[in-house]
Amino acid sequence: MGSLLDTERASEVAAVTAATQPLHPPQREVTLANDGLRTHRLLSLVATLSLFGVAFASWGSTVQVPATGGLAMLVFGLGIGLVVAIAAASSEAALARLDVVLLMLALLALAAWATEALYRNPGYGTDEAAFEQAAANLLLHGHDPYGVNLLPALSQYSVPIQYATYTMNGGVVSTLGYPSLPVLVVTAFVAAFGGTQAVPVANVVVLMIAAVAMFALLPRRFRALGALVPVGLPILFGYAVAGVNAIICMALLIPVAYRWTNVGADGRLTRTHRWQAVALGLALSTQQLAWFIAPFLLLGIYLARRPALGTRGARRVLALYGGYAGAAFAVLNAPFVIWSSSAWLSGITAPLTQHAIPYGQGIVDLTLFLHAGGGAVASYNLAGGALYIGLLVIYGLRFRSLARACFILPTVALFFASRSLAEYYMTLVAVIVVSIATVDPGSVVAAAEIDTRWLRLPQSYGRRLAPVLCILPATVFLANALASPQPLSMRIVEVRTTGQLQSVWRLRVLVHNRSDHVLSPHFATNSIGQATTFWNVIGGPSSLLPHATVTYLLAAPNVGSMSGITSPFLLEAFTLSPQTVSSTQLYTPQPYAVTLVPSYVDHLLPSGSATVLTVQLRSPLGARVRKP
């Protein structure tokens, strides 16, 4: 027994000793190769497994659209087989061939998912989608789409009215607010397919193209991400079928992000670089999000080229790249500028000037839902603008550290704005992946950085102090936004509810103006994080004098704005001059729900017989409430 234990102990010591010994070069190469093969295999496996969720979602309309059920079954079957093949693959080359099958399977799954989603919800989910298709129809009939009232499109394309974009003055956005490319793309699909679901169909096709482009541009080991990111994750698909044109912008930025630090490395633009610049121009012609990214990209290209080419050479590369991008933007937008330059300019700058009500998943939620601030909504945008400039300077100061964040860093500033939609950075996920996976480490390490001698301090002190100075203005604006109290104190004193609809349709609210300003409030309810249509004021003044207290009687403008009687909601009040938002505490019209037990009778009752139903009160979480 003792000799057996000694043998086992000796084996353990030998194993530990072998594990701690340095690997010889051949062993190290084998280990690295195995690590690479394992990484490739796991990425391909996760990407394939992600398609099972897509297939299951596609199967939901199999009764009404049997083809989707067939495609879902096919994705499940091929996916199971692909998992087995990936597990059994013995080389990188074999996995690379399987990745091609994975991409084809992902596109098939995406087509099935889109068919199911569009059948289940034929209406549009955003006002921008409805406006783009209405603009495309105008263009096909020879009319300028900019400056035209497009509100009728909301009804035409079944957009819930609460999903319109409302402004601080009580109005609603009614005109096209984007550059021309989305309208041109949708016009092509309207002409080809007669207009049925033209916007989401166009977006899904663009998402497929983005998946192929991502697959082609990523290093071979990471190509499975070309199926996982655009298809396996539900983020981009949800935005695509909702008609969000940032999907088109994202697809155009994918080639822009590919090895962008190598642009003009030899002092000139190759054919690939010229096409990348054109893609940037097309992205700028799609969505304002690209406008915020472009300065970071251009500054990065300049800093990457300056050490080898000098200031003059780097400027020349930058001018050529910017020239191609600007030319692409001009070609697409020139016809509309000629048509009506004022209408076009007003349209493309509208998101920056229309004073839309605060909304999104950013810092402004502290005001909207936690009652921090509210009296200085404009300070959020000032904070975002100041932070954007500060981040651009910091990016130049620390370029070698921040180069890989080129396509995400600009959106940090948008997180601080009053309109801080998660869409701004979520639609960039594919762009960020391509950028980080393909950036050239050598170009980043050798790149120049902005000098801090303008601070008249030693370089070491300047590098520490400059970022603080860059962020300081944004911090001041943000502090003002959070510290300025909401000007209106509001309390719901009475509600009127509907019968069968089980919802609230009238409110009586006591409002006190705590500020020194005359305010003209516009009221909306909020139960899902997004304000409804402004409620009609049927009792109360249009303007509230300083320090006055008034009772307002409000009526719901439509069914979509009525909160359920058991749903907690806020009443919000927006004013334009000054830009403020005030809200009540969370209000629940009826804290309990009534249920009948049994909830259904699953057998025939003989004529003249009876069944007993027990009435129960339930809390919002479903717990039984024992109250008389």
The tens digit of pLDDT for each residue in 280-300 reads: 999 999 999 999 999 999 999
| pLDDT at residue 162 in the model | 81
For 155, counting Cβ atoms within 10 Å of its Cβ (0-12 exposed, 13-18 middle, 19+ buried), the class is: exposed
DSSP state of 522: E
User: Closest by alpha carbon to 209, among 254, 160, 268?
Assistant: 254
Residues in the chain with pLDDT values less than 50: 1-2, 4-5, 7-8, 11-20
| Alpha-carbon span 359 to 368, nearest angstrom | 8
Residue 452 neighbours by CB under 8 Å, 6+ apart: 397, 459, 462, 463, 465, 466
Ramachandran bin of 194, using left for φ above 0, alpha for ψ from -120 to 50, beta for the remaining angles? left
Q: pLDDT of 63-105, one tens digit each?
A: 888 888 899 999 999 999 999 999 999 999 999 999 999 999 9
| pLDDT at residue 12 in the model | 46
| Alpha-carbon span 177 to 348, nearest angstrom | 5
Query: What is the C-alpha end-to-end distance of the chain, expressed in Å?
Result: 76
Q: What is the pairing mode between strands 570-575 and 549-555?
A: unpaired
Q: What is the pTM of this model?
A: 0.89
| pLDDT at residue 8 in the model | 46
DSSP state of 560: G
For 230, counting Cβ atoms within 10 Å of its Cβ (0-12 exposed, 13-18 middle, 19+ buried), the class is: buried
| Alpha-carbon span 414 to 399, nearest angstrom | 20
